[in-house]
Amino acid sequence: MSNHNKTDHHKDDELHITSYSEHFGTWVSLILLTFMTVFISVYGADLNTLTVATALFIASVKALVVAYYFMHLKYDPRIYRVMLLVVMALFVVFLIMLIFDYLTR
């Protein structure tokens, strides 16, 4: 029985063939961001508490790149991007509330 809901599907159920240059560019950006993370953790000790925040920021950018390009989020309807944003906002709120406790002890 193929009674899927037509209104809520992947934009048009088409195959999205992305170019080699896009894949390659994504891969290179991930490698560069990884190097940046390692560099900051090894040599960026003078960032103090910002070291963690910077590492988290870079990791978030990497996750976004993977989701958008490798996982084809950019082809999906806007609702899925909104879902991802809500989830990331939730994570940020967790961190803020956690850090708030530490700063006010």
Binding site for other proteins (CB under 8 A): 1, 3-9, 87, 90, 93-94, 97-98, 100-102, 104-105
Give the nearest distance from C-beta 86 to other proteins in angstroms. Answer: 9
By beta-carbon proximity to other proteins, the closer residue of 28 and 59 is: 59
- Is the CB of 40 or the CB of 76 nearer to other proteins? 76
**Based on CB atoms, which residue is closest to other proteins, 19 or 79?**
79
Residues in contact with 23: Cβ distance below 8 Å, sequence separation at least 6, in sequence order: 69, 70
Map 21-47 to HEC letters. HHHHHHHHHHHHHHHHHHHHHHHCHHH
